[in-house]
Structure 1
Amino acid sequence: MNSRTPAGIVVGVDGSPQAAAAAEWAAQEAGRRGCSLHLVHAVNTGTVTLSPRTSEAVTDLILKNARDVLDESLGKLAAAHPELHLTGDVVPREAALAILTAAEHSELAVVGTRGHGGFASLLLGSVSLRVCAHSGCPTVVVRQGSSTGEHILVAIRDERDGEALRFGLREATTTGLPVRAVHVWSPVVADVAHAAPMIDELGEEARLHEQLLHHTCDPVSEEFPGVPVHAEHLAGATAATLVEASRQAALLVIARHPPAPHFGLRLGTALHAVLHHAHCPVAVLPV
């Protein structure tokens, strides 16, 4: 078992429908990219506290069952995607750590919203959140039953998000879809309906956000002259606006910015909400 096997794309599997959806999305993406796909099935064998002989037998049984689950996943993907180079490992360690380790030398990590170990009431499991928060490569969270979508949606927060747009444009070149780049902002001016001068201030604020959007998007868009890009800025709550916009998207790309000093939150509140509620797969890009 080699938990550090390099691969183009790494996907976590555990036999759950959510993981199966993630694996299928990852297989399609690997086919579009022309790269390999590596499956990781993590199992915890460190909780057995019986006698040494019994403990060894139980561990062997756990690993055998895990191998059966992995082989079934590999078999289904091989039948559906015979052109793919597929590999897989059973890794006896905590799931998020196993996926993060396998993805260290990969282009992309893919996870489902939650697996067998998660609570049914949770929209997104702790494993997926941890991988999104700590992965050094882009991570895609695939929601079971996600629609095909009409475009690649890219969230633009500020000028650091040029790489997120570049990722979205690369996806667009392989899917044949256009890109919609959206910058969401909350007006600083309050109660504009009751003060005419504030309306002018709001207009100026909107112009500044439009400048930021085009200053970020235009240079990157020029690198992909064949991909249609529609850039727009919208006033409103970031998470709610992006979640609503994701209804028509095939993929939502959003950057993971470094945590603010003294707070230690690996995922911002807007990103956290988007991961829980988006209607399409979400690609989280560390910047």
Structure 2
Amino acid sequence: MRKHILVGIDETPESQVALHWAVGAAQGRGLPVRVIRAFLNELQRWPGTALEGYVPPEVPRKKFQRQLDEAVEYARDRLGYDGASGWLAQEDPATAILTEAPAAELVVLGSRSPNKLSAAFLGSVATAVAAKAPCPVVVVRHPRRTGSIVVGVDGSELSEDALAFAFEEAERTGQPVKAVHCWQPAEEAGAPATRQLREVWLADSLAPYEEKYPAVRARAYVVGDRPSVVLTDMSASASLVVVGSRGRGGVAGLLLGSVSQSLLHHAQSPVAIVRGGAG
């Protein structure tokens, strides 16, 4: 079965940004787009309101269908008629997206711009999907732009998947890669020697990808600071930040790593959460 780019939409401007980003990603990959507009009526969301004499407000299904149709039409105008399909799902948005995620190559979601409120709380849909989807998830809040693809590297298998994703995206988009390894020196006296060893290790880690993707320009950075701080700062000029995630589905999968969580709240560029094996 042919893979596709899966994108969730609603009535917010951020979901339109996500739709545009998803269509651009589909064009670069030669894949179709699958659009989901999910909703719950009030009784489904709050069963306790089903009291005698209570009449819930009518669900504006026609409005939701119109939003879906407009999104699918936008994608078809750019990808062809067979390049887009849609599903009006009467269920929780995160559940609907996760139901279709196994058939997707990539899931794209919108997120509100960072401010004092959204920095403290990210929508449950983006959090749940990023933690549990079996494929990479990109959370966007700004239109697509040029700039380096920043990828966090820590030597784990997960960061290898993130590196593979970053180099593949860089080859498609023509953007350079910035591979970043962060550490916090335990003893300042030994820091210079330790940094040099880490720089050699990072260069060796990048070598196979530079050989596989010779057209991609790549630079390595070893920074003595917390990954969440460094990657967030670098996101200001990046087109994408890529990190691995240890989410595993079920209850455990509801929790993302601290770096992933911080980036979803604070990054100024789209963030790609890459699960193990996704590369």
Normalising by the smaller structure, the TM-score range is 0.7 to 0.9
SS of structure 2 residue aligned to 1:183: strand
In the other structure, the counterpart of 1:91 is 89
For residue 232 of structure 2, what is the aligned residue in structure 1?
Answer: 243
User: What is the Cα deviation at residue 65 of structure 1?
Assistant: 2.5
Distance 1:281 1:151 in 2: 12
Q: After TM superposition, list the pairs within 5 Å mapping 1:1-16 onto structure 2.
A: 7-16=3-12
1:185–1:22 Cα change, 3 Å: same
Once the two structures are TM-superposed, the CA of residue 138 in structure 1 deviates from its matched residue by 0.2
In structure 2, the residue matched to 1:29 is 25
TM-score (norm 1): 0.82
Larger Rg: 1
Give the C-alpha shift of residue 174 in structure 1: 1.1
Instruction: After superposition, give the CA deviation of every residue in 1:142-194 in whole Å (9 maximum; x if it has no partner).
Output: 01x346132111111224212211111111111111111111111111xx3xx
Aligned residues: 263
Q: How far has the Cα of 1:216 moved from its partner?
A: 2.4
Q: Residue 137 of structure 1 corresponds to which residue in structure 2?
A: 135
| Correspondences of 1:123-272 after superposition (within 5 Å) | 123=119, 124-143=122-141, 145-146=142-143, 148-160=145-157, 161-189=159-187, 192=188, 198=189, 201-257=190-246, 266-272=255-261
Provide the residue aligned with 2:109 in structure 1.
111
Contact 2:17 2:110 (8 Å CA) reproduced = yes
Alpha-carbon distance in structure 1 between the residues aligned to 2:131 and 2:145: 26
Specify every segment of 5 or more residues in structure 2 that has no aligned partner in the other structure, as ranges: none
Q: CA deviation at 1:81?
A: 5.2
3-state secondary structure, aligned to 2:91: coil
Q: Deviations over 1:204-248 (max 9, x none)?
A: 221232233223222222211221111121111211111111111
2:75 and 2:83 in contact (8 A); partners too: no
Cα distance in structure 2, aligned partners of 1:108 and 1:253: 13
Residue number in structure 2 paired with 1:38: 34
- What is the CA RMSD across the aligned residues, in angstroms? 2.8
State the Cα distance separating 1:18 from its structure 2 match: 0.7
The answer for the alignment partner of 1:195 in structure 2 is none
- Given that residues 7 and 38 in structure 1 are in contact (C-alpha distance below 8 angstroms), is that contact kept between their aligned partners in structure 2? no
Change (3 A) 1:35 1:265: closer
1:281 partnered with 2:264: no
Instruction: Work out the CA distance in 1 between the residues paired with 2:268 and 2:175.
Output: 17
Offset of residue 84 of structure 1? 6.9
- How far apart in 2 are the matches of 1:102 and 1:120? 33
Once residues 2 and 131 of structure 2 are traced to their aligned partners in structure 1, the CA distance between those partners, rounded to angstroms, is 21
Give the match's secondary structure for 1:240.
helix
* 1:68 has 2:66 as partner: yes
Contact 2:33 2:75 in 1 (8 A): no
Deviation at 1:83, TM superposition (A): 7.4
